[in-house]
Each structure stands twice: as structure tokens, then as C-alpha cells.
Amino acid sequence: MSTDERPRLGLGMVGYAFMGRAHSQAWRVAPRFFELPLRPDMAVLCGRSPQGVATAARTLGWGAVETDWRRLIARDDVDLVDVVTPGDTHAEIAVAALEAGKHVLCEKPLANSVTEAEAMAAAARRAAEHGVLAMVGFTYRRVPAISLAAQLVAEGRIGRVRQVRAQYLQDWIADPEAPLSWRLDKQRAGSGALGDIGAHIVDLVQFITGESITGVSGLLETFVTERPVAEGFSGLSGTAGSARGPVTVDDAAVFLARLSGGGIGTFEATRFAWGRKNAIRLEVNGTDGSLAFDFEDLNVLHLFDATEPAREAGYRRIVVTEPEHPYVAAWWPAGHMLGYEHAFTHQAVDLVHALAVGAQPAPSFDDGLAVQRVLDAVERSAADESRWTTVAGTPA
């Protein structure tokens, strides 16, 4: 007989590729390392291929399968729908789930367009009136060093923010023969480097500074306009077939930005930076100091305190592995390192805590919409010779 009297949280997940695996791992591990107020139950996994979804459910630890997301949403044993599909299906699934009274966790970017994101944010606001809650998966907020950076800025440790430098650099399509996958198809992905990884640094800068990006001047480029069509694609790699097809998204995005607190920023997102694998590089300069972070050294945050005497001042390398640091106490003894997957677990943990008390989890769909509006402003600016473009919904 079970002695666990915590209320059950029935989980249903749509999709089981790269992000599906990351979220499954998080749902499996969260209750093993963190004390949760609800009991997550990995009830149902959904995917279109009966064979594929059955195999994935077995490997990833899901109890049952569906091949139609509408059936998953309709099930009584599902309280929360986790959407880990490409962007072109986010809006339809998330809105339907919220309207059916299911909480939603949706992968980033929230949608493929501002119109879709607005509909999703509106649905989330309506659902919240009935205690049904939605969150968007900007997971990197929960890397402990990044959470610590946000705490330090909020505590005034570097003063008022003057400048940010944000880069997200990868190289997985730098080879012109790397296969054409859904991530290079505007219909399915919405945009290229801009939405896929630029969205992360937009969210991270807004999260760490607590400010909004209010205006941008952008530049987008597609270096390789045609590629061999992928015959099989999983994660970020696949087999190139003999047919060729067009790349319909940007390969690289750069933009200048203004922040609501008076600061300025430069942003760069590319999947063509040979040698950079998953380099999320953030530097924030304030009136009293600076912070610097690189995901390729994710357990470290650099802090420069400009109020220290000049003869001793220097960047301090904080190894973010101590119980005093965000999330770390639940894991290993002090000094042991965390990795890519841990932030997904932290995301699941925070979401469960919010649901248990009926609080709005962060980032909300409104936060996702705010990011989408920045991406949209960059695209509009780039299409108009990089003209300065105001971000909708931000102070003029």
C-alpha cells in the first residue's frame, strides 16, 4: 500500500525527440532529488508513429501512449500537457489544452509568430482565472550560475545596468552539406538562429536584468540557401539524402538593442560559429560592476566588483556548486558539477511548486510573448535595412 499521500499530477507529453528526452529525464529525476508537494506521474506520451511512440515511452519511462494529441488532452489521467513539438504546432496544442482545463508547459520559442503567441498568452490569462496555469520552457534561466546572476543584479550588486553583450554561438550547420531539417524550414520553425537560440538570449537578458528590450536594429543572413534534404534527423544531426531543398530561415542574426532601464545591448545568434558548440555568452556591465557567463563553462559565474580597491579588484571566478547557490543543495556534495540536463529538472521542480499553490509559474506565456515581440521587431528591422524598430508592448 502506498504511503504517499501527496496529490497526483498526471503528466502528458506531446513529442519525444530531443526536447522530449530532456523533459522526460527531468520529470523522472525531479521527484528523486527534490522534495515535491505533488507526485508527478508520467502517464501518457503522444507521437504520430505508433511504433515510434511505443518505443520512446518504454525508453523514457511513460506509462501509456496516444497517437493523437487531442486524445491525450481529453484523458482524465492527464493534468498537465508538456508540449515539446516543433513551433508550428505549439499554439494549437497549448490553447486546446488550456481550454480543456489542463496546465501547460510549452517549449520555446512560444510560437512561430506574434499572432500565435498573442492567442496563447490570451488563452493562458483566461485559463489562469480558473487556476489553470501555463509556463514557457526558457530552461536556461534555471542554470544555477544564471539564476545567481539574476539574484546578484536584483540585489544591486553591479548597480544599474548600462550594457549587455549576449551571444548564442553554435556550429552544427556550419558545414554547407549538413542536412536540411525542420529547423531550417520557416513553416515549421518560424525562424532560424533568431528564434531557435536568439530567443534564449533575449529571454536571459530580460530575466537577468529585470528589464525589457524596447527597440532594436537587426541584421539577418542566410549563408547557405540550399542543402541536401535530411532523410533521418534526430537531435541536431541526420543523414543527408540525394534531393536538395531550400533553406527558408536565417543562419545568423545580430542586433543592437535598447533596454527599458536606459542601457544598451548587442546580441548575436548563429549556428555558423565553427568551434563553438553551445556557447551562451553573457556579459552585463553595471554602474558598480560586471557579470560574465559562458555556458561552455556552465558551473562558473564571473563577478567584478568595481567598489573594491583598484589594487585588489579583478574578476572573481565563482564556482556555482555550493549549497548556498540556487538549486545546488538538492544534488551532490559541495564542489561537484552539474550539466545541461539539470536546468530541465529545476524547471520541472519550480513548475510543480507553483502548481501546488496555484501561483503563476515563470516564465509565463506573457513572458514568451514579450520575447516573440522582440524577435518580430528584429525581423521587421532586418527587412527594412536595419531601421530602428520599437518592440510592441514596451514603453515608447
Q: Which residues bind ligand SOE (CB under 6 A)?
A: 18, 170, 196-197, 236, 278
| Minimum separation from the CB atom of position 178 to ligand SOE (A) | 12
Considering the complex, state which of residue 183 and residue 373 has its C-beta at the smaller distance from ligand SOE: 183
Considering the complex, state which of residue 222 and residue 278 has its C-beta at the smaller distance from ligand SOE: 278
Q: Across 170-294, where does the E strand assignment appear?
A: 213-221, 226-234, 237-246, 252-259, 264-270, 279-286, 289-294
Which residues are CB-contacts of 173 (< 8 A; sequence separation ≥ 6)? Answer: 184, 224, 251, 271, 272
CA 191 – CA 313 distance, rounded (Å): 43
| Residue 136 buriedness (CB in 10 A; 0-12 / 13-18 / 19+) | buried
* DSSP reduced 3-state for 251: coil
| Minimum separation from the CB atom of position 94 to ligand SOE (A) | 17
Considering the complex, state which of residue 249 and residue 291 has its C-beta at the smaller distance from ligand SOE: 249
| Minimum separation from the CB atom of position 206 to ligand SOE (A) | 16
534555471: which residue's cell?
A: 142
| Minimum separation from the CB atom of position 143 to ligand SOE (A) | 11
Considering the complex, state which of residue 31 and residue 109 has its C-beta at the smaller distance from ligand SOE: 109
533521418: which residue's cell?
A: 232
Chain centroid, CA 363 distance in Å: 9
Considering the complex, state which of residue 248 and residue 278 has its C-beta at the smaller distance from ligand SOE: 278
CB 230 within 8 A of CB 240: yes
CB 321 within 8 A of CB 337: yes
**Minimal CB distance to ligand SOE: which residue?**
196
| Minimum separation from the CB atom of position 191 to ligand SOE (A) | 12
| Minimum separation from the CB atom of position 137 to ligand SOE (A) | 9
Which residues are CB-contacts of 211 (< 8 A; sequence separation ≥ 6)? Answer: 161, 259, 260, 261, 263
Considering the complex, state which of residue 280 and residue 352 has its C-beta at the smaller distance from ligand SOE: 280
